[in-house]
Chains A and B, each alone.
Chain A
């Protein structure tokens, strides 16, 4: 079973800062990784799929990179609406989520 470990658990940043979130897999995923954003009281929203492809309507400040076991989600300049929890997800016959990174206002 593949385990996804996200770090850090919490990221304290200010609007305008760059955010770098990490997702590490227990075995190689090729590029089969996605990133979701979740705000309180809302369902998760797909941001990035296949490691680096932005989903429809996602702003260009969000970018994903990586392959194999190490993946990164970058937010180039944080907007007030970007403070949320971010999850990575792998897909095989099953779907697996990481534990999440909370991006909070410093």
Chain B
């Protein structure tokens, strides 16, 4: 079955950096667009970024553009999110999610990991 396992979260000071990873299994990773979502405490989900199946195209929410970079390593079946210049408002659970479409982008996320908590605080 599809499994997504995030790692790399933790406590970081404002202005610091963190790299999240998501290890995928149970499906052909290279066939799918992949997405990072986040959810601040007590709030709804927020889209962060997605990357095409080829890895050549990526989109970012305005709130993270220029600070976060999404990437993927198909050989390792892994998705990454490099987060720089972190702010208090980036505090959230970060989820990696798979797009519903195979070899095309649907925009819907049909599988999610359990999330990893990022806390930005001095």
| Residues of A near any B CB (own CB < 8 A) | 32, 34, 36, 38, 43-46, 49-50, 55-56, 85, 87, 89, 91-100
Q: How large is the interface on B (under 10, 10 to 19, 20 to 34, 35 or more residues)?
A: 20 to 34
Roughly how many angstroms separate A7 CA and B50 CA in the complex, as a whole number?
28
Q: Which residues of A contact B115 (CB under 8 A)?
A: 43
Assess A44 versus B100: contact at CB under 8 Å? Given A93-B59, A94-B59, A95-B35. Answer: no
Tell me if A95 and B47 are in contact (CB < 8 A).
yes
Those of B65-122 within 8 Å (CB) of chain A: 95, 97, 100, 106-110, 112-115
Binding site for A on B (CB under 8 A): 35, 37, 44-47, 50, 59, 61, 95, 97, 100, 106-110, 112-115
Contacts of A89 in B (CB 8 A): 45, 108
Contacts of A96 in B (CB 8 A): 47
A residues near B50, Cβ cutoff 8 Å: 95
Taking CB as reference atom, which chain B residue is nearest A95?
A: B47
Residue from the list A32, A50, A99 in contact with B44, Cβ < 8 A = A99
How many CB-defined contacts (below 8 Å) exist between A and B?
56
What are 11 of the A-B contact pairs (CB < 8 Å)?
A32-B107, A34-B107, A43-B114, A44-B45, A44-B95, A46-B108, A49-B108, A91-B107, A94-B61, A97-B44, A98-B44
Complexed CA–CA distance, A98 and B59 (Å): 20
Nearest-Cβ distance from residue A20 to partner chain B, whole angstroms: 20
Q: Which residues of A contact B61 (CB under 8 A)?
A: 94
Q: How far is the CB of A6 from chain B (nearest CB, A)?
A: 9
Question: Are B113 and A43 touching (Cβ within 8 A)?
Answer: yes
- B45–A87 contact, CB under 8 A? yes
Question: Which residues of the partner chain B approach A94 to less than 8 Å between Cβ atoms?
Answer: 47, 59, 61
Known: A49-B100, A94-B47. A43 touches B112 (CB 8 A): yes
The CB with the most chain B CB atoms within 10 A, among A93, A95, A99, is that of: A95
The smallest C-beta distance from B41 to any residue of chain A, in angstroms, reads: 12
Residue of A34, A92, A93 touching B108 (CB-CB under 8 A): A34
